Amino acid sequence: MRVRSFVAILMFGAVLTVPAPAQSQNTQQSATLTVNGHSGEAPVIQVSGRSYVDVESLARITNGSVSFNGNQILLTLPTPGRGARMTVPPSRQAASPPPPSAGFSRGFLNAGIEAMAEIREWRSALESAVQYGFPPGDTWINRYSGPAATSISLASAAVSTDDDRQGFQLLYNEFNNMQSLSDKMLSARKNMNYIAPDALQNDPLDQKILACGRALASMAASGRFQDAGSCH
């Protein structure tokens, strides 16, 4: 008989569950044991209303070990960290870092669109002056060049990504080209040079400004930087 290999289930009362009803004395049956989350079938002996389980079966179910030395029984149950693998719920797993942001930042995109609008208005005012005659004095042009310069400064302050930096350089080039065209037309007027009504249509610098403006508008629509030769 292997009586010595049975241990009272009461020793493991906090972690062991045996669904066995009270039976007559000295009866044996098979039961499902659950120990620390490990389940398995094991023989159970009912003696005087108490349940006893085979320690070897207990060791097998829990992936532990058992050894006998005379009247001593050494039962070793696995502890967390020894042969046990802990699974972190998905909600607690460390989130992977987000990919680096690409494209124009929202702040720069808004400021850049505003700057392009100011430059277009400046060009439209200059075009009207060339076609229909310049207004008296030169201060009128400041009503357009001044807001454009301010919007360029705001766009510069909003730069935060690589696309912003590259896009701003093209935007700044557009502003400088518009300034050069404006100065050219005003200088010709001061020197009493003839300025044809269609002078801007035949001016390479004006055509470059128009082409760059279209390229910048396309970039704003896509939200990403795309190099444009017309803006250099």
- Residue 19 has a CB neighbour count (10 Å cut-off) of 9
Beta carbons of 148 and 175 less than 8 angstroms apart:
yes
**Separation between Cα atoms, residue 213 and residue 211, nearest integer Å:** 5
**Residue whose entry in the numeric block shows the structure tokens 């403006």:** 213
Say what percent of the chain tops pLDDT 90. 51
Helix (H) or strand (E) holding 16: strand 16-17
pTM value is: 0.57
127 Cβ contact list (under 8 Å, min separation 6): 200
Give 59-117 pLDDT, tens digit per residue. Answer: 787 777 777 776 677 767 666 544 444 444 454 455 565 555 579 999 999 999 999 99
| pLDDT for position 25 | 54
- Tokens representing 48 are 């005087």
Q: How confident is the model at residue 18 (pLDDT cuts 50, 70, 90)?
A: very low
In this model, does residue 149 exceed pLDDT 90? yes
DSSP assigned state of 204? H
| pLDDT for position 183 | 95
Helices H / strands E in the chain, number of each: 5, 7
Say what percent of the chain tops pLDDT 70. 72
